[in-house]
Amino acid sequence: MVTKELFGDMPDGREVYVYTLQHHVGGIRAKVCEFGGTLMSIEAPDKNGCFTNVLCGYDSLKDLMESDGYVGALIGRFGNRIGGARFTLEGKEYTLYPNNNGNTLHGGKVGFSHKLWASSYSDTTQPSVYFSLISPDMDEGFPGELSCTVTYRITEDDTLAIDYKAITDKTTVISLTNHAYFNLGGYASGKVFDQVLQMDAGHYLKTDDKLIPTGEIASVEGTPFDFRTAKPIGQDFFTADNDLKIAGGYDHCWQFDHYDGQIKRVITAYDPKTGRAMDVRTDLPCVQFYSGNFLTDDGHPFYGGYRKATQNAFCLETQIMPDSPNRAEFTNCVLKPGELYSTTTEFKFYVK
């Protein structure tokens, strides 16, 4: 089932709508918004059958538009950071907007996270909402007119799937993702240090002091970045490690060990207190695990006035490697005319 309701009006008078999706009574329920293509909430049951929203988000459109952190938004044209706010493609240099310490983060000054997406929906076997956006040639400095469609759908086994598709009329670079902030204890339950994470990832990218990859793909062996065996997020968080110190915690890209372009389970998160668990399945090669290090009070509290605080949520942004436009040895980020960019990430919820 899918329902649609007015969320608010843009400053220019355009109406913004929110959709609620649910496959069946007793299953997870999600809300998505046209502004930013934002995933606003996911209500999932705990071990006692009590439903709680496990995503951070906002009560008002004003908060959603003015806040920092890209909370729940679709990210594009390029997720994560591009060093020096520039790249060279087919012999031509492109200059981007430097919105993060001289670098470009999550698409630039006005990325996909702050655009109003067109929408439609289907209430069939898999309740779905379709968001579409046309990004014109040289939007935020990126070449090519890019036509994007992102679908949110809920399956019968309590999985929220996100399908990304795009085509271009000129060779460009692209990396789309979603920036949902998870707390499996509930968005207002505090620090996530006791929540358990496991990732099928034996390597991560080292970064400089501006969080741009140095080019070194390092083994996680013997480091705080080893989540190959499940462990609490906080277990090694305060280890004297230079990479953790630079980022104020985890804000790094991990490379999956068994990537082959097929959708498979690569991450499991679990909250021992509530019994809620979540599997992440994707056909992408990497994930940016971010432990909410920059979540601070910016005057835009989460639902019900709940104030933001560091490490009160975590992000699992499936993607290709950051700064790939500047590093040919990294994962491919180039999309050419006639090609289809197509990828899927799924979040399956259950109780342990």
Active-site residues: which are they?
179, 317
Cα-Cα-Cα-Cα dihedral sign, residues 162, 197, 193, 294: negative
Neighbouring C-alpha atoms within 13 Å toward the C-beta of 108 = 20
Q: What is the rounded CA–CA span in Å between residue 124 and residue 139? A: 35
Paired tokens of 5 = 């309701």
- Other CB atoms within 10 Å distance of the CB of residue 150: 22
Nearest residue to 317 (alpha-carbon basis) of 112, 151, 179, 176: 179
Residues paired with 75 in a beta bridge: 177
Pairing mode, strands 286-290 and 104-105: unpaired
Look up tokens 């005057």; give the residue: 299
Look up tokens 């008002």; give the residue: 60
Q: What is the rounded CA–CA span in Å between residue 288 and residue 178? A: 11
